[in-house]
Amino acid sequence: MNIVVWSIVGIILFVLLIFGVGIWLFQKDVAKEDPEYILQFIKDKKELEQVSLSIHFNKEKWVEVNQNVMRVQ
């Protein structure tokens, strides 16, 4: 009986460890800062009008992409 309980506890801890490592790796990958990815995404989607971007700094417009496109869903 004692072996069965310890086996079940060990399996549960192993599954939780694998799950925790998976979540940690996912969050680490998502948190990466890659400005090239953002630039490529905007370049790919701007002709399809699936993205809009407006950057203002000190009340000055720096960038506007598809600012007048309004999509109704």
Predicted confidence (pLDDT) per residue in 3-50, tens digit: 999 999 999 999 999 999 999 998 887 777 777 877 788 788 777 777
Position 73 confidence tier, pLDDT thresholds 50, 70, 90: low
C-alpha distances in Å from residue 71, one per residue of 41, 63, 67? 19, 20, 11
Greatest alpha-carbon span in the chain: 73
C-alpha distances in Å from residue 31, one per residue of 18, 34, 38, 39, 64? 20, 9, 13, 17, 26
Q: Where are the domains of the chain?
A: 1-32, 33-73
Query: For residue 70, is pLDDT > 70?
Result: no
